[in-house]
Structure 1
Amino acid sequence: MVKIAICDDEEKSVALHERIVKECLQSVGIGCEITTYTQSRNLLYDITDDAFFYDLILLDIEMPGISGMEMPQKIKGYLPNVRIIFVTSHTEYAIDAFELSIFRYVPKNNLEIKLPAAVIDAAKLVELEAGQEYTIQTANRMEKIPYKDIFYIQRDGKNASIVSSAGTSKVRKSLQQVFEELDAPEFIFIDRGYIVNIIQIMKINDGIAILKNGEQLPISRSHLQEVKRQINQFWGAHI
C-alpha cells in the first residue's frame, strides 16, 4: 500500500490528480491510500506533527503561503525517503526541481500522459524498497536491517561492515557470504571490498559511486563497465 499526498490550491486540480493516480495505480495492481490538501501549510503541519507518513507527494509549485519550491526542504527533514513529484504549468522551474532532488517534474499541459508514468515509477520504487530485511543473529543479539536502509557493505578484515541509515553493524561473515544471503538484484560488487545498494547510488562520476548519504566509493576499473551494465539492467527491469 503506497501512501500518497496530493497538494494543490485548486480543488479541480486536486480532484483531477487524484483520479489519475487512482486509475494508473489500479491498472498495474498497486494499492494506494490518498490524502488531499488545498493548502500547503496543512500538509506540512500533518507531516511535522508526525500525524501522517507519506511515500509519495504530488505538489503544485505555485501555491499561496508556502510555495511548492519551499516545501521539499521542509519535508525532507521529517520524511527523508519521500518521493516528490512537481505538477505545474511553470516550465521555468524544471532546473530548480532537479536541484531539489525531485523525483519527477510533470507539466500540466501533458498531465494525462506524464503523470501516470511518473506515479507508477515512484510507486514501483516504493514497493521495491519495502519489506526485505537482513538479519544479524548472534548468541547475544538479533538485529534486522531493512534492505532499503543499507548504503553499502564493506570488507572489514574477516568481518563485513554493513553501513545503513542507522549506523554501522558488523557481522562475522565474508563479503561473499553476505552477498549470497542478501540475494537481491539491487546489491552489486563495485570492488572486491565493497557491495553497494543500487537504490542508494545518486550518480557515477570518474569511477566513483556517489551515494545518497554523501559518501563516495571507488569503483575498480575491472568492475566499472559491469557496474554500469547492472545498474542499467536493474532500473530497466524495475522502472
Structure 2
Amino acid sequence: MIRYIALCGRDRQENSELLHSLAPLNKRVGLEFVFFDSSRTLLDEYNRGRRFDLILLDVGEDGSGLSAAIQLHRLHPAMSLILLASSEQWAIPGYRTRACGYLVRPFSGVALQEEVWLALTHCETPDFYYSFSSEEGTVQIKHSEIYYFESDVRRITLVGESASYQFNGQISQIAQQMEPFGFARTHKSYVVNLLHVENLFRDVLTLANGCQIPCSRMHHQEVARRIRDRQPSSELWAPPRC
C-alpha cells in the first residue's frame, strides 16, 4: 500500500534533499511525495479535503509553522506530523501540535528515516469504529472523529468532527467501553477523547474544536496523568535498517 507524504520544507532544495534521504525507505515501503512551498498552501489543500499519511513541516525561524500545524491538527486530529526546525527552542511549543517527531537541523538521513518509519508505523494502527442506533438508523463513526459523549439522564449526545448524534445509553457503560481506546470519564456526565484535548486548566478541559468540558475533582488526577502519558513510547518502535 502506498503511503502519501507531504513535504513542506524551507525551499525546493531542502525538499529535494529530504526526498533523496528517504529513497532507501521508499524502496522498502512505497511512498508518494507531494511538495508544498508554504504551510498556507498545505492548509488550503486540507481545507479542500485532501489528506496525507504523514506531513514533514518546517517550523520556520519564527515558529510560524506551529500555527499551521495546530490548524492542521484541528482539521485532522489523527494525522501524523514531523516538525523540522533549526533549533530546539520550538520543541516544547510543538507539543501542542501533537507532533510525533521533532528533528533539528542538520539531521542525518538515518535519523530522518527512523522518524518517518516510526510515524508510518503509527499510521498503520487500525482505526476503530463506535456503533450505535439513533433516529437515523445504525451509525458507525471512527473513534478518532469523536470529541466527546455527554449524558442527560439516559440520553447520550455524541459530538463528532462533522456532526452530532443522540441516542439512548448509559454514560458509565460508554466510559468502560471506550477507555481502552484513549477516552476518559472526566465528569459524571462526560466521556472525552483525550486525543482532542489541548489544555487542562483547573477544572476545565479545552478541546481542539474550542469546546470546554468540565473535569471534576474525582477524575482530575487520573485525566491529567493520562494526558501526560498519551504519547506512544519510542521503545515500542523498531525502525528498519535502511
| TM-score normalised over the length of structure 1 | 0.71
1:85 aligns with 2:82: yes
* Structure 2 alignment gaps of length 5 or more: 238-242
Distance in structure 1 (CA, Å) of the matches to 2:24 and 2:93: 22
| 1:57 match | 55
Distance in structure 2 (CA, Å) of the matches to 1:219 and 1:136: 25
Q: Which moved more, 1:147-156 or 1:207-216?
A: 207-216
Q: Which moved more, 1:4-13 or 1:166-175?
A: 4-13
| 2:240 match | none
SS of 2:22's equivalent in the other structure is helix
* Structure 1 alignment gaps of length 5 or more: none
Query: Number of paired residues?
Result: 228
Cα distance change, pair 157–55 in 1 and its aligned pair in 2 (3 A): same
Contact 2:199/2:206 (<8 A) preserved: yes
| TM-score normalised over the length of structure 2 | 0.70
1:110 aligns with 2:114: no
C-alpha deviations, 1:26-64, integer Å up to 9, x for none?
6xxxx56331427459x64993695953132113466xx
| 1:18 match | 22
Distance in structure 1 (CA, Å) of the matches to 2:42 and 2:200: 33
Q: Which moved more, 1:227-236 or 1:150-159?
A: 227-236
One-letter amino acid matched to 1:53: R
One-letter amino acid matched to 1:198: L
SS of 2:141's equivalent in the other structure is strand
C-alpha deviations, 1:116-135, integer Å up to 9, x for none?
5643554455444x531112
One-letter amino acid matched to 1:161: T
Q: Which moved more, 1:100-109 or 1:144-153?
A: 100-109
The CA RMSD over aligned residues, in Å, is 4.2
Q: Which moved more, 1:45-54 or 1:194-203?
A: 45-54
Cα distance change, pair 95–227 in 1 and its aligned pair in 2 (3 A): closer
1:150 aligns with 2:146: yes
Report the Cα offset of residue 207 of structure 1: 3.1
| 1:225 match | 221
> Percent identity at matched positions?
21
